[in-house]
Amino acid sequence: MKMIDAHIHLDQYKDEEVRLILDNSILIDSLVTVSNNIESCKRNLQLSKQYSKIKPAFGFHPEQNLPSEQEMTDLLDWMNRHQTDMIAVGEVGLPYYLSRDQKVSISQKGRYLEILETFISLAKEWDKPIVLHAVYDDAPLVCRLLEKHSVTKAHFHWFKGDEPTISRMLENGYYISVTPEIVYKDKIQKIVHQYPLDLLMIETDGPWPFEGPFIGKRTQPIMMRESIATIAKIKSLSETEVSKRLLHNTKGFYMI
């Protein structure tokens, strides 16, 4: 049962933790490690040079303070120089949780949208998939930008949203991925019930911690075995069939 973690922040793990993750599980085919900023990009690039299973994506995570103009210029210049090293543009998107907590003004939200559109246009120009942090009310805004730039290779990680948005994403062929949260969260199980298996991937978003049977445990890609078991129950398929198709989906999307 080979697995690909389609979204993990490996740069946030210690070197020894990374080594143990890769040395101790023959079940892990690859790890798509996403970046938060330029230092995160550099760390992920370095890890990918050490381990062939690590596939880095470069970008700017939206749930943080806006970058300065110089910081954005430096990041985009660096990404341009390392196009061939990255598997995708990501993680990028909109600051839903900062906005919910009233930590983002209307003008700042406009700037986050501008930055996201820059990344979307570059993903199109560079012919790279894009990894998106876009949940609930932000997802339709992101769909609109993807449609504007005719970007179809879009991966909405840990997606959460309403039925009209799900229908729109399905029409456009956008992929989603689910975390181990699917094991104990009804709302994620309902989304997986609606979403076709051919557009699904699995992830951990590690080191983000989980509850349920994972409470108190350091997030590891091996936890995705439980995700596969839950998806198999929802889709009324064997775990072997589900794991094969998820692996096929992720390899095809990221050209691994």
* Residue numbers of the chain with a pLDDT score lower than 70: none
Q: CA 105 to CA 102: how far, in whole Å?
A: 7
Q: For the chain, how long is the longest CA-to-CA vector?
A: 51
Yes or no: say if 246 and 221 are a contact pair by the CB < 8 Å rule: no
Report the candidate in 34, 20, 37, 16 with the shortest Cα–Cα distance to residue 204: 34
Determine the pLDDT at residue 24: 75
For 131-162, what is each residue's pLDDT tens digit?
999 999 999 999 999 999 999 999 999 999 99
**Full strand arrangement of the beta sheet holding 130-133:** 3-8, 28-33, 54-58, 88-93, 130-133, 154-157, 175-178, 200-202
> HEC states along 140-175?
HHHHHHHHHCCCCCEEEECCCCCHHHHHHHHHHCCE
Query: Does pTM surpass 0.85?
Result: yes
The SS3 assignment for 233 reads helix
For the record, the structure tokens of 43 come out as 């760390």
Report the candidate in 175, 177, 172 with the shortest Cα–Cα distance to residue 148: 172
In DSSP notation, 83-136 reads: GGG-SEEEEEE--HHHHHTT-S-HHHHHHHHHHHHHHHHHHHHHT--EEEE--T
Domains of the chain: 3-254 (3.20.20.140)
Determine the pLDDT at residue 23: 85
What is the number of residues in the chain? 256
